[in-house]
Chain A
Amino acid sequence: MRKILIILIFIFSFNCFATPSERFGHIYIAGGELFGLSSVRVGGKSWEAGLLNRRSIGFVRVAYDNSLYLNYGGMINLNSSPGIFGAMGYEKLLWNFLSLRAEINMGHAIDNYSSSEIHLGIGAFW
């Protein structure tokens, strides 16, 4: 519990402001290595949570610069060890309710296990 609190304090100690987002919510599903299911995330505004990659479950904040986006947040790996997670990608919007994403991500936990993947995914938002 103390480790989790330290990670949360670390993440929220940055100079953060609420970002107005046009999106109320979204879902993102991605395939990774050998196109296996690697990520399932449910999001609201500038947040996403769920399976971040095959070895990480957690939550991230999302920021956009046109089509480029950045994720950062906290995660827990398969050994229940907390850590930090970062990702960067490109998102192309289709018909105002679908999106295609290509993403590079990496997480590293306190137990020194890390994981990184390249994802191709599809999102839906409303």
Chain B
Amino acid sequence: MNLKLFLILALMSSNFAWAQSYFVGTGMSKVTQGRLIPLLQVGVDNQMLQFQFTSLGISNELYYHSNYKASVLIKKNWANTPMLSGVASGYGLGLMHSKRGYREDTDEDLKEREDTLLGSVFRIEWNIASRFYISLDSFYASKGFLPIALSFQNENTVAFGMRF
């Protein structure tokens, strides 16, 4: 079975007694800057904790790029804070698997590469209506000694989703 489909179904069919809501979102990402890359995110959360899986990718004759990210976040709900009703944020850890291929001509073989990265995750979410939200997610992966200079490999996503 397709890995993405399997993970989504596994997450959706699991019985999380602690979960207060499930959510599904779709949107776009910046993996290659400015290029529209569609994404799908699913997750479960309660007032304190959130588990989230995000999948995104793009493919054409010359290249493809797929990212799969699982993250766990500690949530901070700002609803009780004046002026921030409807806003929640979170930070935590994420694990991302990236797979990509590229060729300069359709006659050539694809040069493929994949890597797995562990990093920190940040999320801010606006509940724009009772069930609908807009979220900003960013993932900062550390590789080598670059984080010492505040340099990270990152993935940013924006999603529009629904809770149920």
Contact = CB atoms under 8 A, between A and B. Distances in A.
Contact of A70 (B33, B36, B84, B154): B84
Interface residues of B, number: 34
Contact of B83 (A19, A65, A114): A19
B118 to A, nearest CB: 16
Interface in B19-69: 28, 30, 33-36
Nearest to A38: B150
Contact of A108 (B76, B81, B136): B136
Interface in A39-61: 46, 61
B149 A35 contact: yes
Interface residue SS majority, chain A: strand
Contacts of A16: 83, 85
Interface residues of A, number: 36
B140 A108 contact: no
A32 interface: yes
Given A104-B120, A106-B122, A106-B156, A35 B89 contact: no
B72 interface: no
Interface in B55-101: 76, 78, 81-87, 89, 91
A34 B122 contact: no
Interface in A57-92: 61, 63, 65, 68, 70, 72, 84, 86-88
A18 B83 CA distance: 7
